[in-house]
Amino acid sequence: MVKPVKKGKGKAVAPELDAEALLASARESLDRLDPSGAAALCRQAVSADASSVLAWDTLAEACLTCGEAEEAGRALHRSIELSPAGAPGRYMYLAQLSDSPAEAVGWFEKGVAGLRAEREALQQASGERSELQAAWAEATCALAVGLCSAAELYLTDLCDEPEAEGRCDALTGEALQLVSDLPAEAVQVVEPFQTRASLKLSQEAYDDAEPLLLRALEVVRRAEEAEEGGGGVEMPSLELRLALAKMLLEDDDSAEVRYLLATAALCAGEVDLAREEASGALEWLQSEWAPAEQAEWLPQLREVLAEAEGGEAA
């Protein structure tokens, strides 16, 4: 006679988390600057629901953040297979990950087409006027940045192509026009001005480049002021700020630009560059050639130099 199995008092098995809960935890990990942990959770999420576009997108984001480019590319491809008309940013990321410049152009073109469609859809949207205006400005800036990303290829990897200069001119010209039609305070990106200036510098059209670089600098200034005031404006990336400062320095010597370059370098962990720029600016400011009004930057530059020397010692 077989005895009935008694119900034991062993440990209860935890219910398997669904994809939605896993993705919520992954987002929390990303917010805590733990992309590796987020990626692990996302892998569980795509195993739980392989048809979830959000799961593949979040996995790609986490992998990109922690440097897992190959896995990010696979996740982006899978997301696009599931939803070709989804977020245009996926195409832009694939363009950046591509080893082939020609292939990258194709991805950029698809991404730009998606950004155009999103912007055009807002023309038919309804809602609060202020919210619609903010959404329109954001979509316009996103499209302008996408155009500049494609233009960068013609300034670099594809610069020897016969049509490179013309394509770059058209792309940067459209990007510049897009943001020029917005109120100045709504423009929170530097790429349209900076990329157009790069083209002008490559053409040795320095008089055309200078006002563009100054407009980019104005965007950075507004972002810094908003950040100091606790505003929600996103600061242009360190890479962009460093590139901007270097281009400005090619055209003119300015304590403000040297300060911008030194602080951006410091934030990026480039302590030697920060120290070099801050000390060079201080030396110039104390020379007979520096305009008197530039002296207002002495305290800020001394502070940056002290921080850089402290970081170097550490």
Q: Are 114 and 85 in contact (CB under 8 A)?
A: yes
Number of domains in the chain: 3
One domain, residues 270 and 307: yes
Q: Is residue 242, in this structure, part of any structural domain at all?
A: no
Q: What does the pLDDT read at residue 126?
A: 83
Rounded mean pLDDT, 270-292: 81
What percentage of residues in the chain have a pLDDT greater than 70?
88
pLDDT (tens digit, 9 = 90+) per residue, 198-221? 999 888 888 898 888 888 888 888
One domain, residues 101 and 196: yes
pLDDT (tens digit, 9 = 90+) per residue, 176-187? 999 999 998 888
pLDDT (tens digit, 9 = 90+) per residue, 221-280? 888 777 766 665 677 776 777 777 677 766 556 777 777 777 777 776 778 878 887 888
Residue at a domain's end among 84, 104, 125: 84
Q: What does the pLDDT read at residue 311?
A: 58
Residue at a domain's end among 59, 84, 109: 84
Q: Is residue 234, in this structure, part of any structural domain at all?
A: no
Q: What does the pLDDT read at residue 240?
A: 77
pLDDT (tens digit, 9 = 90+) per residue, 82-94? 999 989 999 999 9
One domain, residues 217 and 257: no
Q: How far apart are CA 276 and CA 254, in angstroms?
A: 15
Output the domain CATH number for residue 22.
Answer: 1.25.40.10
One domain, residues 77 and 143: no
Going by C-alpha positions, the residue among 142, 221, 210 that lies closest to residue 182 is: 142
Q: How far apart are CA 92 and CA 147, in angstroms?
A: 10
Q: Are 215 and 209 in contact (CB under 8 A)?
A: no
Q: How far apart are CA 297 and CA 314, in angstroms?
A: 26
Residue pointed to by tokens 């903010």: 134
Whether pLDDT at 12 is above 60: no
Q: Are 244 and 217 in contact (CB under 8 A)?
A: yes
Rounded mean pLDDT, 55-62: 95
Residue at a domain's end among 84, 105, 138: 84
3-state secondary structure of 121: helix
Going by C-alpha positions, the residue among 55, 60, 66 that lies closest to residue 17 is: 55
One domain, residues 122 and 109: yes
- Print the domain residue range for 214: 88-224
Q: What does the pLDDT read at residue 278?
A: 82
